[in-house]
Amino acid sequence: MVSRDHKGHYDVLHAAVFAEGRGGSLAMVEHLLNAGAPMTANQDGRYPLHLAFQTGAASLIPILREGLLQEGLLEAVEGKGAHEPTPLMLGIQTHKLNKDQLSEAAALTA
């Protein structure tokens, strides 16, 4: 757990996804998921999928969705009753993904 202001804020998977948006490695995120890194919300209630949309890491979106699906969390994160902002909302607000990427990345439930 990485801390901010002496409180647990996010975990290694969040850090790897954020690094991907800043020049990190898709291979590292895949490795962490394959090693069983859990899908958890950070202190702000955001999952790694939120960060992928926020940083424009389009290549990570499908594998993060699969990880959420495997843990039974996908509907809670992206479904109709999901806490806002949803990952897609962050993608739109931050302007890190172009319209084609947003269209491709948008969940069918959005």
Of the pLDDT bands very low, low, confident and very high (cuts 50, 70, 90), residue 71 is: very high
pLDDT value of residue 43: 85
Does 110 have pLDDT greater than 50?
Answer: no
**Average confidence (pLDDT) over 30-37:** 94
Are 105 and 58 in contact by the 8 Å Cβ rule? The answer is yes
All structural domains of the chain, each given as residue ranges with its CATH number in brackets, are 2-105 (1.25.40.20)
Q: What is the pLDDT of residues 77-96, one digit of tens each?
A: 998 888 889 999 999 999 99
